[in-house]
Structure 1
Amino acid sequence: MRLIQFTASNGWRGHEQKIIYLYEAFKAEGHVEDQWIVCPIDSELYRIATEKEMQVIPFEYKSEYSLSYAKTFKKLAKEKRATVIFIHSSKAHTLAVLSHFIYGMKVPLVLCRTLIKRVDTNFFRKWKYNYKGIKKIICVSQPVVESLKFAVKDHSRLSVIGSVTDINKFQKQAPTGLLHKEFNISEDYKLIGNIAEFTGFKDHYTWVDTVEILAKENAFKAKYILVGKGSMEQDIKNYVDEKGLTEHIIFTGFRRDVPEILPEFDLFLFTSNNEPTGGVLLESYACKVSIVAADAGGISEVIVDGETGLLAKVGNPKDFASKVTLLMNDKALQDRLTTNGYQYLLDNFTKSVIAKKMFDELFKHELR
Structure 2
Amino acid sequence: MRLLQVTASKGWRGHEQKIIYLYEAFRDLGYVEDQWIVCVRDSEIHKVALSKNMQVIALDYTGEYDLKFAKALKKIADENRADIVFIHNSESHTLAVLSSLLYGLKIPLVLCRTLIKRVDTNFLRKWKYNYKGIKKIICVSQPVVEVLKYAVKDHSKLCVVGSVTDINKFQHIDTGILRKEFNIPQDLKIIGNIAAFTAMKDLFTWVRTVSELKSRGIKAAYIIIGDGPQESEVKALAQELGVYDDIIWAGFRKDIPQVLPEFDLFLFTSNNEPTGGVLLESYACRVPIVANNAGGIGEVLIPGETGLMAEVGNPASFADKVQELLYNDALQKKFTDSGYEFLKNNFTKEVIAKKMFNELNEVLTASKK
What TM-score do you get using the length of structure 2 for normalisation?
Answer: 0.97
2-side partners of 1:81 and 1:262: how far apart?
41
Q: Retained in 2: the 8 A contact 1:310–1:323?
A: yes
Q: Distance in 1 between matches of 2:232 and 2:174?
A: 29
Confirm or deny that 1:31 pairs with 2:31.
Answer: yes
* Superposition map of 1:1-368 within 5 A: 1-171=1-171, 173-218=172-217, 220-364=218-362, 366-368=365-367
Structure 2 CA distance for aligned equivalents of residues 169 and 205 of structure 1? 30
**Aligned positions, number:** 366
Quick one: structure 1 residues 77 and 310, their matched pair in 2 at CA, closer, same or farther if it must change by over 3 Å? Answer: same
The CA distance in 2 between the partners of 1:53 and 1:70, in whole Å, is 25
Contact preservation (8 Å) 1:224, 1:248: yes
Call closer, same or farther: CA 1:140–1:320 in 2, change over 3 Å.
Answer: same
Contact 2:175 2:258 survives alignment (8 Å)? no
Structure 2 counterpart of 1:317, one-letter code? P
Q: Is the 8 A contact 1:135 1:367 kept in 2?
A: no
Structure 2 CA distance, aligned partners of 1:364 and 1:14?
26
What secondary structure, in the 3-state scheme, does the structure 2 residue paired with 1:247 have? helix
CA deviation vs aligned residue, 1:96-155 (integer Å, no higher than 9, x gap): 111111222111000000000010011111111001110000000000001100000000
Gaps of 5+ in 2: none
Partners of 1:95 and 1:129 in 2: how far apart? Answer: 13
How far apart, in 1, do the equivalents of 2:127 and 2:186 lie?
Answer: 57
Distance in 2 of aligned mates of 1:68 and 1:17: 26
Tell me, what secondary structure is at the counterpart of 1:102?
A: helix
Q: Which runs of 5+ in 1 are unaligned?
A: none
Cα-Cα RMSD? 1.0
- Give the aligned residue type for 1:200: A
SS of 1:304's equivalent in the other structure is coil
Residue identity in the other structure for 2:272:
N
TM-aligned CA deviation for residue 237 of structure 1: 1.5
The letter for the 1-side match of 2:263 is F
CA distance, structure 2, for counterparts of residue 69 and residue 192 of structure 1:
44
Structure 2 contact 143–295 (Cα < 8 Å) conserved = yes
Q: State the 1:174 CA deviation.
A: 4.2
Secondary structure in structure 2 of the residue aligned to 1:250: strand
* Identical columns (%): 65
Superposition deviation, residue 364 in structure 1:
4.1
TM-score by length of 1: 0.97
**Equivalent pair of 2:114/2:139 in contact (CA under 8 Å):** yes
Please tell me whether the aligned partners of residues 226 and 249 of structure 1 are also in contact (alpha carbons under 8 angstroms).
Answer: yes
| In 2: Cα distance, 1:329 partner to 1:193 partner | 15
Counterpart CA distance in 2 for 1:326 and 1:19 is: 37
Whole-angstrom CA distance in 2 between matches of 1:317 and 1:24 = 40
CA contact (8 A) 1:293 1:311 kept: yes
Task: Give the Cα–Cα distance (whole angstroms) in 2 for the partners of residues 216 and 119 of structure 1.
Answer: 42
Which AA in structure 2 matches 1:340? S
Q: Which amino acid aligns with 1:128?
A: K
Deviations 1:163-199 (A, max 9, x none): 001111112x143433222211221110000001111
2:173–2:258: 8 Å Cα contact kept in structure 1?
no
The aligned amino acid for 1:187 is Q
Q: Distance in 2 between matches of 1:210 and 1:67?
A: 47
Segments of 4+ in structure 1 off by > 2 A? 66-69, 174-178, 364-368
Question: 1:74, 1:84 → 2: CA distance?
Answer: 12
Q: CA deviation at 1:67?
A: 2.4
Superposed displacement of residue 363, structure 1: 1.0
CA distance in 1, matches of 2:43, 2:313: 33
